[in-house]
Amino acid sequence: MTADCIFCKIVKGEIPSTRILETDEVYSFLDINPINPGHLLVIPKKHFNTIFEIPDSILAELMPCVKRLSKAVYRAVSAEGINIVQNNYRAAGQLIDHAHFHVIPRFSNDGFLTSWPGKTASPEDLNRVKEKILNLLEK
């Protein structure tokens, strides 16, 4: 499982990376194929496949890193915006099965998506899905 994980190898130094920040539980490095210059990744050092498996205690260390790094990237490349993107499972675009957060600097003329086309939903549709979610919401 984790033996073949590229990001585990990056954390261990077995694959080179452009390290930006490291804490006890968190590692951040530049994405090798940046969407825009400054695009970086923030990962838990331990292997978790998706956000579902990351313990809250680690997320509590990781999210402030995402925020700090976002501010630094924003200023470093004079960005006009920042996307924080976190893909889980193939259907959502996850290619590397070691949970990670993208910090992506954005520019108004960079040609990438700024909003997703939403579907229409009736109040009944919204209430139906709301009930399903609330029934499954973990304490």
> Catalytic residues, which ones?
100
**Position 96 contacts ligand 5GP (CB under 6 A):** yes
Buried b (16+ CB within 10 A) or exposed e, 29-48: bbbeeeebebbbbbbbbebb
**Position 5 contacts Zn ion (CB under 5 A):** yes
One of 40, 69, 79, 98 touching Zn ion (CB under 5 A): 98
User: In the 8-state DSSP scheme, what is residue 33?
Assistant: S
CA distance 53 to 94: 15
**Position 72 contacts ligand 5GP (CB under 6 A):** no
Residues 107, 78 contacting (CB under 8 angstroms): no
**Position 70 contacts ligand 5GP (CB under 6 A):** no
Distance of CA 70 to the CA centre of its chain: 12
Size of the site for ligand 5GP (CB under 6 A): 13
CA distance 137 to 139: 6
One of 7, 27, 29, 101 touching Zn ion (CB under 5 A): 7
Minimum CB separation from ligand 5GP for residue 82, in Å? 16
Amino acid, res. 81 = G
Site string for ligand 5GP, 7-46 (x = CB under 6 A): --------x-x-----------xxxxx-------------
Tell me the window of 6-14, 55-63, 73-81, 115-123 that interacts with Zn ion (CB under 5 A): 6-14
CA distance 67 to 79: 15
Residues that bind ligand 5GP (CB under 6 A): 6, 15, 17, 29-33, 87, 93-96
